[in-house]
């Protein structure tokens, strides 16, 4: 990444900022199984309507989700499923780090 211009890195940082909000990650997890409307997202996340709408707007502006009008409803779906590969990579990394920390704690506990 040392050859990536600062302006491009700013876009990467903005992308990660969008993903740094728990409620937005919850919305993305709900959409993993397919397109849903706001009511369905609210039911599955337990978030309020205004909150879900705000986060969907941010996710859509970032190009992570897309809107699909269907009759009187609007359905949201994942625009690029690669987002889940990214999330799985982060989760695997966190799992490894937690296992290493757990092992270190066990080792320290054995020193008593």
Residue, of 2 and 15, whose pLDDT is higher? 15
Domain that holds residue 86: 81-112
pLDDT at position 112 is 64
pLDDT in tens, 27-45: 999 999 999 999 999 999 9
Give yes or no: residues 39 and 69 share one domain: yes
Query: Domain with 58 in it: what CATH number?
Result: 1.10.10.10
Shared domain for 59 and 7, answered yes or no, is yes
Is 72 in the same domain as 103? Answer: no
97 and 48 belong to one structural domain: no
> Would you state the pLDDT for residue 108?
82
Report the alpha-carbon distance of residue 7 to residue 72 in Å, rounded.
Answer: 40
Residues 52 and 105 in one domain: no
Q: Select from 29, 111, 109, 108 the least CA-distant residue to 76.
A: 29
How far lies 82's CA from each of 3, 5, 16, 91, in Å?
Answer: 23, 23, 14, 14
């Amino acid at each position: 990444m040392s050859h990536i211009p600062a302006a491009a890195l700013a876009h990467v940082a903005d992308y990660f900022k969008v993903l740094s909000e728990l409620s937005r990650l919850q919305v993305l997890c709900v959409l993993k199984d397919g397109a849903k409307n706001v009511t369905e997202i609210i039911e599955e996340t337990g978030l309020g309507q205004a909150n879900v709408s705000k986060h969907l707007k941010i996710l859509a502006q970032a190009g992570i989700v897309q809107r699909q009008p269907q009759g009187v409803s609007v359905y949201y779906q994942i625009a690029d499923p690669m987002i889940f590969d990214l999330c799985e990579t982060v989760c695997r990394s966190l799992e490894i780090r937690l296992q290493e920390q757990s092992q270190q704690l066990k080792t320290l506990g054995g020193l008593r």
